[in-house]
Amino acid sequence: MDQMVNPDHPLRKAFEGKRVLVTGDTGFKGSWLCLWLAKMGAQVMGYALPVERADDHFALLGLDGIIEHVDGNILDAAALNAAFERFQPEVLFHLAAQPLVRFSYAEPKLTFDTNIAGSVNVLEAVRLSHSLKAVVYVTSDKCYRNNEWIWGYRENDELGGHDPYSASKAAAELVFSSYQDSYFHARANFGAATVRAGNVIGGGDWALDRIVPDAVRALRAGLPIEVRNPHSTRPWQHVLEPLSGYLTTAARLLDEPKRFAGAWNFGPDTTSVRTVGELATMIVGEWGSGAVRIAEQEHAVHEARLLHLNCDKAHQLMGWRPKWTADRAVAETIAWYHGVHHGHDPLEISTKQILAYMES
């Protein structure tokens, strides 16, 4: 499977031959990002906790045979610094995090430790590095103080967080901003940006309490899809959309580090906003069988109901735009799970989807 991205594509030109470090490579977004980078000829090192399940996207791709992976904790500053020292990265994507809202209610300390103290360790490694030219620091659309209003959040809106996950990501933003102002602004030939995206869907995500993995588990078991908050709206986007935003940010930072430093939102068009109930119905349609059931909420925890991003800044200054509609995002996602469920090669499916996305 040696299909590569078109050599004339601007992103391939930006990353070919570059040494790129990705924290969180064993996770859902990180594994897609590393495959994409490898397909553009980048030299990739991943740093993350070990892969958890045999059916994780990282494991299914055989990614440890495609990139160099280091098992490590971002709370272990010495190990993290040693990885930076040895690899001498030119570009960093920081994705490692505890990313789940509901889990953060059960494990607030783990969430704050990982997402704040862990990010401080990463920023310290960046501060000490002499090789880095571009840093993309991943937080979340949930870093904004949620006003439950209909307008999209802009990069200069107030930060905040009700649940521990959202608060940890808002705090991670503040920490980044301090490093930016205190150290990074003044460093020559170096740019750092923080990137905020919303809920993503795509093949190979098996996280608990996320609608698509929950739905696929139910469909594979022949059970109805249980939906907790059918009327909550979310900006559904395919995982390749924010990743294209992250890659574009790094490419722009490599070209003009000061102009593209700062915060960037990457979300779908407002036409891609759907309720959770609508999404579940679309999933059943794409799978070809199954049913949706509204679940009782005995121990409901607070989750934001109205949340979407205003992405005018990325549209106008980077020329970045989402490419796939919500319908296409669901179709590609369910095609991935359906294909793998029926014995097709996950590496081939993921590679084809990356190449198709780039040609869209």
Q: Could you tell me the smallest distance in angstroms from the CB atom of residue 25 to ligand NAD?
A: 6
Which is closer to ligand NAD, CB of 27 or CB of 164? 27
Residues in Cβ contact with 325 at an 8 Å cutoff, skipping those fewer than 6 apart: 271, 272
Q: Smallest Cα–Cα separation from 172: which of 235, 104, 233, 239?
A: 104
For ligand NAD, which is the closer residue by CB, 118 or 191?
A: 118
If the CB atoms of residues 89 and 99 are measured against ligand NAD, the closer one turns out to be 99
CB of 5 to ligand NAD, least distance (A): 21
Q: With contact defined as beta carbons under 8 Å apart, do 173 and 159 qualify?
A: yes
Q: How far is the CB of 56 from ligand NAD (least distance, A)?
A: 8
User: Cβ-closest residue to ligand NAD?
Assistant: 27
Measured from the Cβ of residue 296, the count of other Cβ atoms closer than 10 Å reads 8
Shortest distance (Å) from residue 98 CB to ligand NAD? 6
Minimum distance from residue 24 beta carbon to ligand NAD (Å): 3
Which is closer to ligand NAD, CB of 12 or CB of 98? 98
- Nearer to ligand NAD by Cβ, of 12 and 74: the residue is 74
- Residues at the contact surface with ligand NAD, assessed by CB under 6 A: 24-30, 48-49, 73-75, 95-99, 114, 118, 138, 140, 197-200, 207
